[in-house]
Structure 1
Amino acid sequence: MFILKRVYLKEATHGELLFNNEHIAYTIELPWLENQKQISCIPEGEYNLRRRYSKKFNWHWIVENVPNRSHILIHPANDALVELKGCIAPVTKISGKGKGLFSRKAMHVVLEIFAKHKVNGQLKLLIIGQSPT
């Protein structure tokens, strides 16, 4: 199972995506605002991921069965407040609150690792929080 460990900030949510305790990528998301559509990250919990293609993002993953939300994606973005509407963006490095660098490069790594571990076209993702350090 893949794990996304989050740290919640007032302005954004930062995370680290792991598999078997190995670092895959950092992540940026919107801040936690009670799961409000298009302005909040999604709740912690266990989710199914399914590979998906669109003209806008090419290959990416969709997070399924998010309570009261739909079309939550894992796709490239370097500025959560400008480019995300509740989705998760992998980045190579966090560069500021809700900002990251080289998201397309990080997304490529995520796609490769996810592809190696999918079962029947799906994966499991566990999202957990941790206190800011």
Structure 2
Amino acid sequence: MVLVLSRTYFSDGTNGKLECAGRFICNCIELPWKQNEARVSCIPEGKYFIRRRYSNKFKWHLEVVNVVNRKFILVHPANNALLELNGCIAPVTQFSGAGLGLKSRKAFYKLKDLVYKVLDRDEEVCLIVQS
């Protein structure tokens, strides 16, 4: 499975549209681009892989792996990138501003269910991040 995250950058956050094979899945919010600085920047554009991950805070969620100079880039629910993200990606149902969204849990569970079905078949999930 190949997921494509097409971004628009703003000074206060990054908004993106996530698609698979040309079909819209959800919107996403991230921190603004700040030269890939850990915990304050979105990740660089490029090709990554996604795996499932468990933590006490987020329970079962997703992790973007092999990001240069970064670790623990998670995909989890959040509605405000500046307040709730440390470089992670948050699916949202709709945007409410730059790096702001609504109904993140609904979008997150839709994405997680889709990705987990593919991972359950032992297939790879690739994420292409572009502008």
TM-score by length of 2: 0.94
Q: Which residue of 2 aligns with 1:123?
A: 125
For the 8 Å contact 1:51–1:122, the answer to whether it is kept is no
Q: Which consecutive segments of 4 or more residues in structure 1 shift more than 3 A?
A: none
**CA-CA distance at 1:102 after TM superposition:** 0.5
Matched with 1:114 is 115
Structure 2 unaligned spans of 5+ = none
Structure 1 residue 121, shift from structure 2 partner: 6.0
Give the TM-score, by structure 1 length: 0.93
CA distance in 2, matches of 1:25, 1:123: 16
> What do the CA deviations read for 1:17-71 (whole angstroms, capped 9, x no partner)?
1001111110000000000011000000000110111111111111100000000
Could you tell me which residue of structure 2 aligns to residue 55 of structure 1? 56
CA distance in structure 2 between the partners assigned to 1:65 and 1:46 by the alignment: 9
Stretches of structure 1 that go unaligned for 5 or more consecutive residues are none
Choose 75-84 or 117-126, whichever is displaced more. 117-126
Counterparts of 1:10-89 in structure 2, within 5 Å, are 10-89=11-90
Q: Which amino acid aligns with 1:52?
A: R
| Matched residue SS, 1:5 | strand
Paired-residue identity, %: 48
Q: CA RMSD in A?
A: 1.1
Q: How many residues align?
A: 129
DSSP 3-state at the match of 2:87: coil
